[in-house]
Amino acid sequence: MPFQVMAKEPSLDTYLVAVKQKREPTRLYALVATSPAEALEIVTAQGSEDVVVEIAGKLSKRMARPYKLKPGDLILI
């Protein structure tokens, strides 16, 4: 009987994403995603066209726990 290789679920991390818009203060969002590219994609889909979006960092599991975020959830920090 051959062994079946189980697919490993992608790990989820909490990313901090900075959103810059003309004549507005920079906003910082926290969200759970599998990669920085996915985090940027989620935030870009939520915003308008004239914004600059970049990864500002990651939160540790301990720091992210109080926010109780689920994948795709997005909160303003």
Report DSSP letters for 22-54, one per residue. Answer: TTSPPEEEEEEESSHHHHHHHHHHHS-TTEEEE
Q: Which of 26-35, 54-63, 66-75 has the lowest mean pLDDT?
A: 66-75
pLDDT at 49: 77
Backbone angles phi, psi at 37, to 5 degrees: -65, -40
Residue bearing the bigger pLDDT, 2 or 32: 32
Best CA proximity match to 39, nearest among 60, 63, 16, 21: 16
| Cβ 20 vs Cβ 26: under 8 Å | yes
Best CA proximity match to 35, nearest among 15, 65, 61: 15
Query: What span, in angstroms and rounded, lies between the C-alpha atoms of 53 and 61?
Result: 23
pLDDT at 6: 67
Dump pLDDT digits (tens) for 26-52: 999 999 999 999 999 999 888 777 889
